[in-house]
Amino acid sequence: MASTSATPAPEKYMPKNILITGAAGFIASHVANRLVRDHPSYLRPAILPMGLSACRRAGPGAVRRFVHVSTDEVYGETDKDAPVGKHEASQLLPTNPYSATKAAAEMLVMAYARSYGLPAITTRGNNVYGPQQIPVKLVPKFILLAMRDGSHARSYLYCEDVAEASDVVLHRGEIGSVYNIGTTRERRVIDVARHICGMFGLNPVEAIRAVSDRPFNDHRYFIDDQKLKALGWSERTPWEVGIKKTADWYIKHGNDWWGDVSGALLPHPRMLTPQQSFDSASMTNFDFN
């Protein structure tokens, strides 16, 4: 997410134009909706492909703030009994190819900041859930499975809270800083499954079936978000409220929003969009063992 602006107010940055890459995606769409709703004086966020090279070509001062969205996975696995989460200066120790590419992207942004003066800010967030999320993700998958009749711990943030955090970072974040977007309210995957079973009147003993774990699956991600809280942000949506809002959305839209999601509800799916082709010789609908 990048923005251009006239001279900002000393206490709060006020952008004039906001460009969001990937604004049709799950999290970015909630951020874009919030910016349009809560800041009507701004020009509408544009869904445009604006990368690092484009920012450099725009010339000095053209981009006033570049917010790069990363993930808590770049820190690697948190010790099971760690009482304090990883802070922004913690060492990056990604443990799987996905998180390694995310860490590499952060290094690239940092290099542009140091070499070309890109005014970058990075966020690293916990798992996000909410309406409109693709069904391969854990929360919508469990809801859709429950509608049809583990020991790993994760911290789940409702999408609107994450959108608010992005808003705060955009307007109050310090250039060159990293901000964790997190929650201390951790939940085991099995507890999420049991909660959703209860929402749909299902017996967890009968409805929950254990499957093999996915490859390279860290057991815990726990981060410290005090730095972001110092800017005025805090988690607003309790789990019980957010999960009900999410379930209500899928009850209303889940059967027709994504089309046939049968493949997404399998363990470790590789769900293809209608725009993608399926090559049975090169891949299957499952993660490779």
Alpha carbon of residue 17 to chain centroid: 23
Give counts: helices (H), strands (E), the chain: 9, 9
Among 38, 98, 116, 248, the one annotated catalytic: 98
User: Which residues lie below 8 Å from residue 252, measured CB to CB, with a gap of 6+?
Assistant: none
CB burial string 276-289: b at 16+ within 10 A, e below: eeeeeeeeeeeeee
232 Rama sector, left if φ>0, alpha if ψ -120 to 50, beta otherwise: left
Among 11, 13, 42, 73, the one annotated catalytic: 73
Beta strand residue intervals within the chain, DSSP E:
2-4, 17-20, 46-47, 65-71, 120-125, 127-129, 153-158, 178-181, 186-188
**CA-based radius of gyration for the chain:** 20
CA–CA dist 288, 234 (Å, integer): 39
240 included as an active-site residue? no
CA–CA dist 184, 161 (Å, integer): 14
CA–CA dist 147, 201 (Å, integer): 10
Strand order in the sheet with 186-188: 127-129, 153-158, 186-188
73 included as an active-site residue? yes
Helix, coil or strand: residue 124: strand
CA–CA dist 108, 116 (Å, integer): 12
Among 11, 13, 42, 72, the one annotated catalytic: 72
Paired residues of 155 in beta bridges: 186
The catalytic residue positions are 72-73, 98
